[in-house]
Amino acid sequence: MASNLLKNIVKLDTRVSVSQNVCLPIRCLSTASPRVKDKTGKNIVFVDGVRTPFLLSGTDYASLMPHQLAKEALIGLMRKTNVPREVVEYIVYGTVIQEVKTSNIGREAALAAGFPNSVPAHTVTMACISSNQGITTGIGLIAAGAYDVIVAGGVEFMSDVPIRHSRKMRSLLLRANKAKTPLDKLKLLSTFRPDFLLPELPAVAEFSSGETMGFSADRLAASFKVSREEQDQYAVRSHTMAKEAQDNGYLTDIVPFRLPNSSKVIEKDNGIRVSPIDKLAKLKAAFVKPHGTVTAANSSFLTDGASACLIMTEEKAKQLGLKPKLYLRDFTYVAQDPIDQLLLGPTYATPKVLEKAGLSVNDIDVWEVHEAFAGQILANLKAMDSDWFAQKYMNRKSKVGVPDLSKWNKWGGSLSIGHPFAATGVRLTVHTANRLVREDGQFGLIAACAAGGQGVGMIVERHPDATAL
């Protein structure tokens, strides 16, 4: 069955394309379908979310600082929802590779975006699921009765990452700062060695194993017998669907970004590129050389971008005259072996969050799953389709189940749209919301893997007032 599964997901359906989707009128949600119980007593809603265009690092955003991207996402959110900044009570913002000068980037971005000084903000980091953590932290604050209106989001800026002196050099400089006399300084200088000048570069690698995520993806693909051809086909699928969604105007979460001191306005993602499969097949392995199957084309790329979303109680939304997109129904975080199962977060999170919500795989109308690597996605699908894996590693009697792949990442994903680490969670959520409207669905499932062998699963339900704009 697994081989058929892979054939189905990598096959581009020529009979029905994304471009044939239309924005359907909101259906009367069937009472025969399972309903998810509100556990907070407050019916917490996702009003809307926005993002800057996601750009390849080193391109048009290269001269900026990350808080400038975050600022524009926050301003764009307030403009789109028409909610005064004074109504927002708290901001939770994510980032992974932090700019040292703006360590609490949530606060700095909020001040730059014109939020009142009285609005607190804090920054979270949970690798690729940082803005998911921002959203769910906001859910917790609202459920606890601390606040009614929360902004969450995330930013990543890979064009300019912090590069440190070596530890030996840092130690020398710190001791030199405390040296009292010229003789003390000369003694310190005599301990200097040329290798002190070697810099420490940040890497997308696991601290616990020292292994880059690409190596883990290669090993995972090999373990689940995911071929290079299957990975390349999935990558083509992602870019093709993203291009169709872009061309048809479905990516309404994007707010245009005017570059400072320039007339240039960035209006769309620049990493979406539909290439022939034979062109992808010519690329060399990026990590496990020469025989690995993970390449630059079937991996997500280093991306700059920011996102923001507005969540609140349904009662507050009604008071403000807003039309929310989603009910935020349930969520779970998971963690597993950070070496051999680093990227299997969706497999572990999916059954847990479905069971918490009282739903099954077949109840999900929209799947939005983070695409770190094509091999990672296909390995997760095989793991979800395996009774052996469920019994051996997940303490389950039977497999998770196979998602309906016609409902899977239909607007592309991180492979094509881009993946600014901390910003992706909001992008997944708002795409789920807008797809539920256009595809006339009720429930969506959002899942993602993250560094450290962690993952998230979220269940959302379309709000009766939702629109895809």
Mean local confidence (pLDDT), 456-465: 98
Residue-averaged pLDDT of the chain: 92
Could you tell me the pLDDT band of residue 11, with boundaries at 50, 70 and 90?
low
Q: Which of 2-16, 76-90, 339-353, 406-420 has the lowest mean pLDDT?
A: 2-16
Spatial separation of the C-alpha atoms in residues 435 and 410, rounded to whole Å: 8
DSSP structure string for 439-469: TT-SEEEEEEEETTTEEEEEEEEE-TT----
Q: Is the Cβ–Cβ distance between 399 and 441 less than 8 Å?
A: no
- So what's the pLDDT on residue 185? 86
Question: Residue 277: helix, strand or coil by DSSP?
Answer: helix
At 418, give phi and psi (nearest 5°). 115, 165
Mean local confidence (pLDDT), 27-44: 68
Mean local confidence (pLDDT), 75-95: 98
Could you tell me the pLDDT band of residue 164, with boundaries at 50, 70 and 90?
confident
Residue 449 appears among annotated catalytic residues: yes
For 366-392, write each residue's pLDDT tens digit: 999 999 999 999 999 999 999 999 999
Spatial separation of the C-alpha atoms in residues 372 and 389, rounded to whole Å: 21
Mean local confidence (pLDDT), 146-174: 93
pLDDT at 31 over 50: no
Could you tell me the pLDDT band of residue 6, with boundaries at 50, 70 and 90?
low
Question: Residue 410: helix, strand or coil by DSSP?
Answer: strand
Residue 28 appears among annotated catalytic residues: no
pLDDT at 67 over 90: yes
If we measure between CA atoms, which residue out of 13, 20, 11 comes closest to residue 248?
A: 20
Q: Which of 38-42, 93-97, 299-303, 355-359 has the lowest mean pLDDT?
A: 38-42
| Structure tokens, 184 | 């003390």
- So what's the pLDDT on residue 82? 98
- So what's the pLDDT on residue 4? 56
